[in-house]
Amino acid sequence: MKTLITGGVKSGKSSRALELARPFSPDRWFLATATAFDDEMRDRIDRHKAERASAFNTIEEPIAIDVAVRQRMIVDCMPMWLNNLFFAEREQDWEAILARFIARWPEDVIVVTNEIGMGVIPADPMSRRYGMALGLINARLAAAADRVELMVSGIPLRIK
């Protein structure tokens, strides 16, 4: 089932993705989009690696998610992927990469994203562009997904 998990920061999205992926065969994949750009991010990546232990084959791909996607995979996470595009000065590429990703989205893939547009409108133009792009990304993924869950305080709410 094509699943999208969304929610706020630290709402339990990644843990929920791991839970939903348990029935996948032992040939499971994890597509990590994060890059270790500072000590805090390195620690976060290490914690996520320890959480999934050896239960997944990991692919670290910060940009070409359309090429790296496989059956029985968790893709974690779309906001970091978009961040990578912005900082690689490839902001204009997100729509084409996302379209190819959705076209190749296999049946048993769980995609993790964040809801960031539920609060204050950012003061700077780049942050506004980022928020608008992520909102569009989430809407396109939700339209293509069979199931969409919103994580609220560690509780999954099925919205599709």
**98 flagged as catalytic:** no
Separation CA 160–CA 149 (nearest Å): 7
- The H-or-E segment that residue 73 falls in is strand 73-76
- In the block, residue with structure tokens 């940009």: 63
Cα angle vertex 105, ends 102, 108, to 5°? 150
- Reference 136, options 116, 111, 156, 110; nearest CA is 116
Catalytic residue among 16, 28, 48, 52: 48
Contacts of 110 by beta carbon, 8 Å cutoff, 6+ apart: 3, 4, 5, 17, 20, 21, 73, 74, 75
User: Which positions are annotated as active-site residues?
Assistant: 48
